[in-house]
Amino acid sequence: MRHFGFLGASEQDELFERPPEQFTRDSGHDLLSVALGATLYIPADRPSLVADITKQAAAGVTSVVVCLEDSIADEHVEAAEDNLVHALADLHADAAAELPLLFVRVREPRQMPALVARLGRSVRVLDGFVLPKFTALSGTDYLHALDDADRIGGRRLLAMPVIESGAVLYAETRVDELTRLRALLHRDRARILAVRLGATDLCALYGLRRSPELTIYDVKVVSNLIADVVNVLGRADGTGFTVTGPVWEYYASAERIFKPQLRQAPFDVNDERELRSRLVSRAIDGLIREVEMDKANGLRGKTAIHPSHVSVVNALSVVSSEEYRDATAVLGAGRGSGVMASGHGNKMNEIRPHMAWARVTALRAQVFGVARDGVSFVDLLAASLPR
């Protein structure tokens, strides 16, 4: 797999100083969790599931979750399971298919070993499971069931637990729940690829829903939790996990109260006024702002429910030439202390405080590439989105 692999050689050369590198399912957790990028969710009951997965992989999606949970009506779960099993069998039989990282979001723990038993040899195309409504109580059952699935399938499957319960959101139980979750996840950290945030379920506990003009960080009851999840589970001292950004729900036009959140100047410079208009009309300007807020708050990657979101998230994950030079300078200074001026002459790089940031930036550069000097997010997005 490789991000932006759908671009031709000449386009890649124009856009990237250092092109994205290939990664595989056997890449280490640190790299693979960053490489997730935008993870596209697809309902398991889609009649064209095989075609949908292969189409999106060809269009640049590198991680897919096939959902058996909230996107499927209760009475259709059995049919969706049948559809999923047949689809994975077809994908396994097609040796030429280039597949993304592939996960299944289940409804309850015992569904995992049951599905793996039905998959047989086609379990080889499955990379793991997404574990919804993961709590310190339910998490033990999920991880034990995943052990059973491993034994049945004969391979180590990865897990992405979803933090979305009242126990972790409510102020009176949050600290205890997060502390217990950390202990549980640390005991099985070899299989935990990333921790995901279920913003829709969290908002539902208070009857809330953000508008397309607001980000999840404007919903304080949830943004406060995000800060605490990163505080406890996302530490950069070697004990933390990758925490991914929550879903952006909007993909079509909606009535606006405020001005669009995208400046005109970058699009004017690149002669991409029509692109800006398209992004604003589909509420993508709100997604762009939320992705930038995710990055500033320690989240990497994002849940996506529409293919148009994938290009935005992944384009914003590319490392700028300036970021790369700063990170390289910090890493090159070793473990000592000290301060140096940025090569761009606009900031200081302090060795010890910026070392963890530099390491993560180097991982991003490896899987998303480094943009050429002067290449902007607008250029990357214009090359990624269909006209």
Cβ atoms of 303 and 313 closer than 8 Å:
no
Question: Which H or E run includes 102?
Answer: strand 101-105
Cβ atoms of 285 and 260 closer than 8 Å:
yes
Q: Are strands 158-163 and 128-131 parallel, antiparallel or unpaired?
A: parallel
Our separate counts of H helices and E strands in the chain read: 17, 11
Question: Which H or E run includes 90?
Answer: helix 77-93
- Is 70 annotated as belonging to a binding site? no
Give residue 186's identity as a one-letter amino acid code.
H
Angstrom distance (rounded) from CA 267 to CA 379: 9
Cβ atoms of 91 and 130 closer than 8 Å:
no
Cβ atoms of 137 and 100 closer than 8 Å:
no
Closest CA to 365 of 65, 3, 38, 89: 3
Which residues contribute to the annotated binding site? 201
Which residues contribute to the annotated binding site for Mg(2+)? 201
